[in-house]
Amino acid sequence: MNSLERVMTTLAKGELDRLAVFAVLGAYGGKLNSTPLFKLYRESELWVKGQMAIQDRFKLDMVLGTFDFSGLAEAFGGRTVFFDNQAPNMRLPAYSSTENALEHELPDIETNAILKNMLAGVSGLKASYQNEVPVVSTIPGPTSLANLVIGIESWLDSVLFEPEIAEKLHKHLLEFWFNWMEALVQAGTDFVVVCEGMASNTINNRDMYLRHFHPWIRDAFQGLSNPVIFHHTGGAINHVIDELSTLPNVAGFVVGSKDDLFEARSRIHPDQVLIGNIDNLSFPSYEPQTMRDAVRERAAFSGKLMPYIVANSAADIPLETPIEIIDSYSHAAGKCSEASEFAKK
Amino acid sequence: MRDQVKNLVAFMTAADRAGALELVDTMREQGINDNKVITEVLDPALIAFGKLWGKQEVSLSQTYVAAKIAEGILNRCSDSKKLIETEKKGRVVLGNIEDDFHGLGRRVVKSFAEASGWDVIDLGCDVLAEDFIESALKEDACIIGVSAMMQTSALNIRKVRELIDERSLSSRIKLAVGGAVFNWRKELISEVGADGSCSNASEADALFTQLLSSLEASS
């Protein structure tokens, strides 16, 4: 069973040779290949080489398309800051206000250099891994894209105090969102992960989320032509996961490290896959044995969680994480190889 | 005033800024003076709201609106604002550490701290350790408040601690830290050498007060 078959079999709730294992390792490819991070994120062939190094070393059941939301912000006209020791961040959004953003055109996916580079990264990975390892791409959620265009403070201000104009911007940006999703799929993405920060409990409690964001997200998801995985982004999403579960075209969820996996399973559709929930911030401080235990603990209960994929929660695993720890992580998941070890629990 | 406090907290948790400001307008029309509005309604409401955060019953968006409500009330109660200007609790230099560009939490802390009577000098995002120190000395601040969202950038705060110690400023300046990563990894607070931290903006007043007291006690 290769990785793509393993993931597809997980989704189909079929019999597995072992648990599938994901990890968000983007910048880590630069570490493995000694590639400066600003080059890694802006030269697709280096990104592909980074993912290949990760795959060679850790044998994960996924490779990751260029994961760089600051690049999306830059495509709109924002500014990026690069670091030596972490993924890039948005330094400044493109526009200072909702009104200002509405006056400008959306970036052209076919001509924008940053977007073309991201798509080339996806194509390169697809060419390398074909039907063996799934290519996973990330996209901001439909109500989080505006964070990258005008900044979270301006966006919250608009949504909460000027909802009519916020809705105009949301609809304006949706055109890009659909086109970008389609472009990622056309380039070779097997699974799109939608990172919707507005559903995180750290940003919105249940009432605020349902009142201000959920209706827009539901409308957006109704227009999707492919199933997606919903990602909590940071914090937790169990407080709204029952509502998210009813969204159209949602194949599963990446939940937070503080989300209870059993609670999540009980509140979503039995066919929706559950992914997570190992705390990514703890990776640097784990001992190899602690890491193995964290994976095995989930594997032991995976029979009750299925369909389930082991993964870290939140974003990139910190770059300072020793390579041996990620070895422990991937080996522990890979060693849950006998179906009897987990499927009958 | 207990009912007004309760109502104001309810408007904060419902993220209803218009309702909150209407409540304050009504109180002022009824003859309640601005100073009472601030000290007997707004301050207790912010404390009560902070307790809700402690119980994880409110989120960032509600806290953001609560900060906007506090700003709005302070602007309306301009007489009291003047009074407060002369009775500041102390001066705080606030900023996001070098390489950190997540400024929303910091701005909410600024609003809450100002509403509670602190004089806040906001240095913005991506502030060098040296600039925190220079600004604190120039402004005669007793507290440096440093915010970070990511672990990598949070570790840059160690430089602020080093500079405070190198320049023998620890009896003059206390280092407070905050931000998402400190809520998730409490051990980072001591790792970066902070004198204290709080998990949300509404607790900033209590933290700053405690740090100021410890400075006064040691002098």
Distance from CA of A202 to the nearest CA of B (A): 5
Residue A155 structure tokens: 């966006």
Across the interface, whether the CB atoms of A89 and B101 are under 8 A apart is answered yes
Q: Where are the beta strands (DSSP E) in chain B?
A: 90-96, 118-122, 143-147, 174-178, 196-197
In Å, how far from its chain's centre is CA A220?
18
For residue A218, pLDDT beyond 90: yes
Closest CB from B17, B57, B99 relative to A161: B17
How much is the pLDDT for A345? 40
Q: Where are the alpha helices (DSSP H) in A223-322?
A: 241-245, 261-267, 288-305
- DSSP 3-state of A308: strand
Looking at residue B202, the DSSP 8-state letter turns out to be G
Mutate to test the interface with B, among A147, A154, A203, A209 (most CBs of B within 10 A): A203
B151 touches chain A (CB under 8 A): yes
pLDDT digits (tens, 9 = 90+) for A24-74: 999 999 999 999 999 999 999 999 999 999 999 999 999 999 999 999 999
How does residue B82 score in pLDDT terms, banded at 50, 70 and 90? low
- By 3-state DSSP, what share of chain B in percent is helix, strand and coil, each rounded to 5? 65, 10, 25
How much is the pLDDT for B85? 58
pLDDT (average), residues A165-176: 98
Let me know: does A260 contact A277? Beta carbons within 8 Å. no
What average pLDDT does the structure give for chain B? 90
Percent of chain B with pLDDT over 70: 96
B199 touches chain A (CB under 8 A): no
Closest CB from A89, A152, A160 relative to B104: A152
- DSSP 3-state of A314: coil
Dihedral of the alpha carbons of A227, A44, A24, A179, in degrees to the nearest 10: -30
Across the interface, whether the CB atoms of B64 and A86 are under 8 A apart is answered no
ipTM tops the 0.85 cut: yes
How does residue A173 score in pLDDT terms, banded at 50, 70 and 90? very high
Across the interface, whether the CB atoms of B59 and A86 are under 8 A apart is answered no
CA distance A231 to A252: 9
For residue B216, pLDDT beyond 80: yes
How much is the pLDDT for B215? 93
Residue A308 structure tokens: 């389930």
For residue B102, pLDDT beyond 90: no
B152 touches chain A (CB under 8 A): yes
For residue A335, pLDDT beyond 80: no
B-chain residues near A212 (CB < 8 A): 61
CA distance B214 to B219: 9
A-chain residues near B185 (CB < 8 A): 281-282
Across the interface, whether the CB atoms of A152 and B180 are under 8 A apart is answered no
CA distance A215 to B151: 34
pLDDT digits (tens, 9 = 90+) for B117-142: 899 999 999 999 999 999 999 999 99
The CA distances from residue B201 to A105, B63, B110, in Å, are 37, 8, 8
What are residue A263's phi and psi, to 5 degrees? Answer: -65, -45
What are residue A84's phi and psi, to 5 degrees? Answer: -85, -20
Across the interface, whether the CB atoms of B103 and A160 are under 8 A apart is answered no
With 0-12 CB in 10 A as exposed, 13-18 as middle and 19+ as buried, what is B216? Answer: exposed
The CA distances from residue A281 to A36, A84, A292, A316, B186, in Å, are 22, 18, 16, 9, 12
pLDDT (average), residues A317-337: 88
Identify residue A210 by its one-letter amino acid code: L
Helix (H) or strand (E) holding B212: helix B204-218
Closest CB from A83, A281, A319 relative to B185: A281
A-chain residues near B151 (CB < 8 A): 281, 284, 318
pLDDT digits (tens, 9 = 90+) for A268-305: 999 999 999 999 988 998 999 999 999 998 988 888 99
- Going by C-alpha positions, the residue among A67, A73, A88 that lies closest to residue A136 is A67
Q: How many C-beta atoms lie closer than 10 Å to residue B26's C-beta?
A: 12
Identify residue B153 by its one-letter amino acid code: S
Across the interface, whether the CB atoms of B181 and A281 are under 8 A apart is answered yes
Residues within 8 A of A (CB atoms), B 87-126 only: 99, 101, 103-104, 107, 126
CA distance A185 to A174: 17
B-chain residues near A86 (CB < 8 A): 150, 152-153
pLDDT digits (tens, 9 = 90+) for A10-26: 999 999 999 999 999 99
Q: B90 pairs with which residues across the strands?
A: B118
B150 touches chain A (CB under 8 A): yes
